């Protein structure tokens, strides 16, 4: 299935000069959504992982059902003030500004094997911060999966020590 048919370009969102890759059409089509989850599962099924870690909010859409299929735990990474317990945080630069991500301090134990799953790799800042959170708590990032990768933004260059795969590349 050509998943690019289900990705819509939104110019100047969230600010002028950005072309946002909208996954809403992919989510609306039950066959495209199932195909996407199946493809992510195929890439992850042989990995030894304890948890999938995903970033709000679109990462949750793919990470949580994938964790269910793989029979592992799911750890949400959120913006400040959104998690109810004690957190570790990581500040980073992204393609349109600065941001901070948080994860519960007890989300994983040292030595836990983690697969990061997100919808999009752009400049790599969000993923770098997510990996940083995992590693702060002693976890090991065994792989990173994306639905979409924007090659022209060179996000992989910020993540040279990780095994990265994506379903769609622009």
Q: Which of 56, 93, 95, 140 is the catalytic position?
A: 95
Whole-number Å distance between alpha carbons of 104 and 137:
10
φ, ψ (nearest 5 deg) of residue 86? -65, 140
Task: Determine contact, residues 70/44, Cβ cutoff 8 Å.
Answer: yes
**28, 64, 91, 161, 167 from 136: Cα distances, Å:** 36, 22, 13, 16, 28
Is there a catalytic annotation at residue 58?
yes
Whole-number Å distance between alpha carbons of 26 and 132:
30
Task: Determine contact, residues 124/157, Cβ cutoff 8 Å.
Answer: yes
Whole-number Å distance between alpha carbons of 6 and 80:
31
Q: Which of 56, 58, 140, 156 is the catalytic position?
A: 58
Which residues are marked as active site? 58, 95
């Amino acid at each position: 299935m050509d998943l690019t048919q289900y990705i819509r370009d939104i110019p100047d969102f969230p600010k002028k000069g950005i072309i946002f890759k909208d996954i809403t059409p992919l989510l609306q089509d039950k066959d495209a959504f199932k195909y996407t989850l199946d493809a992510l599962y195929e890439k992850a099924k042989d990995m030894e992982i304890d948890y999938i870690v995903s970033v709000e909010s679109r990462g949750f859409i793919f990470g949580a059902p994938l964790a269910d299929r793989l029979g592992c735990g799911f750890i949400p990474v959120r913006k400040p003030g959104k998690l109810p317990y004690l957190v570790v945080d990581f500040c980073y630069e992204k393609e349109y500004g600065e941001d901070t991500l948080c994860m519960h301090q007890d989300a994983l134990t040292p030595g836990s094997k983690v697969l990061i799953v997100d919808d999009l790799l752009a400049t790599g800042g969000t993923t770098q911060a997510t990996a940083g959170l995992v590693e702060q708590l002693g976890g090991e990032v065994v792989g990173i999966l994306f639905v979409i990768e924007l090659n022209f933004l060179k996000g992989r260059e910020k993540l040279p020590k990780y095994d990265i795969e994506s379903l769609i590349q622009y």
